[in-house]
Copies of this chain bind each other. A is one copy, B any other.
Amino acid sequence: MSPDRAAASPPSALAAAAATLAAKPLCLNTFRENVVLLARNNPLVRPERLAGLRKVEVVAGGVRLLASPMICDDASLVDAHEIGLPQPAFRRLGVQAGDPVHIAPARPARTLDAVRAKIAGEILSGDDYAAIARDLAGHLWSDMEVAAFLVACAAFMTPEEALALTRGMIAAGATLDWKRPMVVDKHCIGGVPGNRTSLIVTPIVAAHGLVMPKTSSRAITSPAGTADTMEVFARVDLDEAEMRGVVERCGACIAWGGRVNLSPADDVLISVERPLSIDTPEQMVASILSKKAAAGSTHLILDIPVGPTAKVRDRRAALRLKKLFEFVAGGIGLSVEVVLTEALEPIGRGVGPVLEAHDVSAVLENRADAPADLREKAIRLAGRVLEFDPALHGGAGERRARDLLESGAAHAKMMQICEAQGPPPTTAGCGSLVHEVCAGAGGHVASIDCLRIASVARLAGAPTDPGAGLELLRKTGEAVRAGEPLYRIYASEPADFGFAVEAAAEDNGVQVSS
């Protein structure tokens, strides 16, 4: 079933058949996909023959891309001797208008044979995963090919394969070297809305004096990622020099990892995992640990929330995931300590970037209305990170973390980090469309469904709309009367607002027991 298996890549034949066209930038943006426009009467590649099945290989100035062709019948847009280049193909090629661009029908990436083998249930080798990570990072696979790989891996993947994929992903991108014996980090696998402890842990740890250059991702399947929420306070798309400058000054940063090309293969996998809502243990471990190792971390506290509506439902699954993290971390030389935390409801009051940022500010400023659950969890995790410090007395981490928070040292450190990173690109407030979701009957809140709350917040527009999301007005154990509000929905777009309000009307996710 794998007809192309043994065929080698023949650069000689390709070069002989390559055709040269003139680059023509177009004012179009195809998001992350490489698309090129070719005239139907292009004499060199006869685009109709490609029939939507084959990509074209596009080479200019040493950069090689695979792109999906569109046929153009409008000579004023693209003539027979031009290649129309929308973004991001134009940017990725780095050419000027009129520059020569070589083009040829693409042969399928050889790594796709490994994908077919994985679909057939085979175990892939370290070399396979190294090549796969390189091809992913080079944007050589189509979305459907990435999806096929992810789903095939979801069916089964050995711990050794997860390690091989992690190693391949680290090697396929840049790595940061901080020239220090200890670089700490803290990461949560996600799944619990409002769980923005990193924005509190990082300034506490930096205030203590450990180095914590935190690179974080945007949300995959949740209403907000650490980078999304940090962007409410400060610029997060720092390049490597900027990140080094901030860490030099502050001992920490909280940046989006996308600009520094750490594990770029992971970014490609995430771009398909996100719309498909795929999030398997092996992909999770490879994604998180490849990013951490590439970012130069040496010591990591990893938070796995466990609860009936969290990503990990019970202790047995949590222990299996813990072992997988420990196995892969050991294989790449990263010290990891896994902390299992209880997750019976969202953390804090806000869900969505802006609303979560409000909670973070309240904790850092020691305000009376600060959500206690967010504060206590952040202190516990910061304490665990501080215990990595050989100078600290064993068991003293949590006390030290609380002191640094309550004294205002952590808040001052956060202000310093934000100032060093610069102001955010836009000033975002809460969405202007507001709806209160009310209790049908009175009683006490028995539980709040993390999945349902995340779903409503995402339908409202989070995280792409930073001001969208929910504000929880009642948490577990609190009393509520019939008709009193349980939470508020915030949105900016009428369509998003409608989706979220209807979803909450169908099932609001809050169980009230009388």
Residues of A at under 8 Å CB distance from B? 1-8, 10, 12-14, 16-18, 26-33, 35, 37, 40, 46, 49-54, 70-74, 77, 86, 104-105, 107-108, 112, 115-116, 119, 142-148, 150-152, 154-155, 221, 271-272, 274-279, 311, 451-452, 454-455, 458-459, 461, 464-465, 493-499, 501-503, 506-507
Q: A74-B28, A151-B148, A151-B152 are in contact. Are A6 and B506 (CB under 8 A)?
A: yes
Q: Is the CB of B272 within 8 A of A13?
A: no
Q: Which of B46, B115, B278, B498 contacts A13 (CB 8 A)?
A: B498
Q: Is the CB of B144 within 8 A of A27?
A: no
Q: Which of B29, B451, B493 contacts A105 (CB 8 A)?
A: B493
Q: Which of B26, B275, B452, B503 contacts A142 (CB 8 A)?
A: B275
Q: Is the CB of A154 within 8 A of B119?
A: yes
Which of chain B's residues have a CB closer than 8 A to the CB of A455? 3-7
Q: Nearest residue in B to A75 (C-beta to C-beta)? A: B27
Q: Is the CB of B276 within 8 A of A498?
A: no
Which of chain B's residues have a CB closer than 8 A to the CB of A151? 119, 147-148, 151-152, 155
User: Could you list 18 A-B pairs, sorted by A, with CB under 8 Å?
Assistant: A1-B279, A4-B458, A6-B455, A7-B459, A13-B502, A14-B498, A17-B498, A26-B74, A28-B70, A29-B71, A32-B52, A53-B275, A77-B77, A105-B496, A119-B151, A119-B154, A145-B275, A148-B276
Q: A6-B455, A147-B144 are in contact. Are A28 and B17 (CB under 8 A)?
A: no
- 17 A-B pairs besides A3-B451, A8-B503 with CB distance below 8 A are A2-B451, A5-B451, A5-B455, A7-B499, A10-B498, A28-B37, A28-B77, A31-B70, A32-B52, A33-B52, A105-B493, A105-B495, A107-B459, A119-B278, A151-B151, A151-B152, A152-B154
Q: Which of B54, B274, B503 contacts A7 (CB 8 A)?
A: B503
Q: A28-B72, A33-B52, A70-B29 are in contact. Are A506 and B17 (CB under 8 A)?
A: no
Bound state CA distance, A51 and B105, in angstroms? Answer: 29
Which of chain B's residues have a CB closer than 8 A to the CB of A506? 6-8
Nearest Cβ on chain B to A156's Cβ, whole angstroms = 8
Nearest Cβ on chain B to A23's Cβ, whole angstroms = 17
Bound state CA distance, A144 and B52, in angstroms? Answer: 15
Bound state CA distance, A46 and B461, in angstroms? Answer: 13
Q: Is the CB of B278 within 8 A of A148?
A: yes
Q: Is the CB of A507 within 8 A of B6?
A: yes
Q: A13-B495, A31-B52, A493-B105 are in contact. Are A503 and B148 (CB under 8 A)?
A: no
Q: Is the CB of A1 within 8 A of B275?
A: no
| Most chain B CB neighbours (cut-off 10 Å) among A18, A112, A152 | A152
Nearest Cβ on chain B to A390's Cβ, whole angstroms = 39
Nearest Cβ on chain B to A37's Cβ, whole angstroms = 7
Nearest Cβ on chain B to A39's Cβ, whole angstroms = 10
Q: Is the CB of B275 within 8 A of A144?
A: yes
Q: Is the CB of A499 within 8 A of B28?
A: no
Which of chain B's residues have a CB closer than 8 A to the CB of A112? 276-277
Q: A7-B499, A74-B27 are in contact. Are A49 and B274 (CB under 8 A)?
A: no
Q: A28-B71, A70-B28, A116-B278 are in contact. Are A13 and B499 (CB under 8 A)?
A: yes
Q: Which of B29, B278, B493, B498 contacts A12 (CB 8 A)?
A: B498
Bound state CA distance, A5 and B31, in angstroms? Answer: 27
| Most chain B CB neighbours (cut-off 10 Å) among A51, A148, A451, A493 | A148
Q: Is the CB of B51 within 8 A of A31?
A: yes
* 8 closest cross-chain pairs (CB), A and B: A13-B498, A31-B52, A17-B495, A27-B73, A3-B455, A155-B155, A27-B74, A151-B151
Bound state CA distance, A279 and B17, in angstroms? Answer: 31
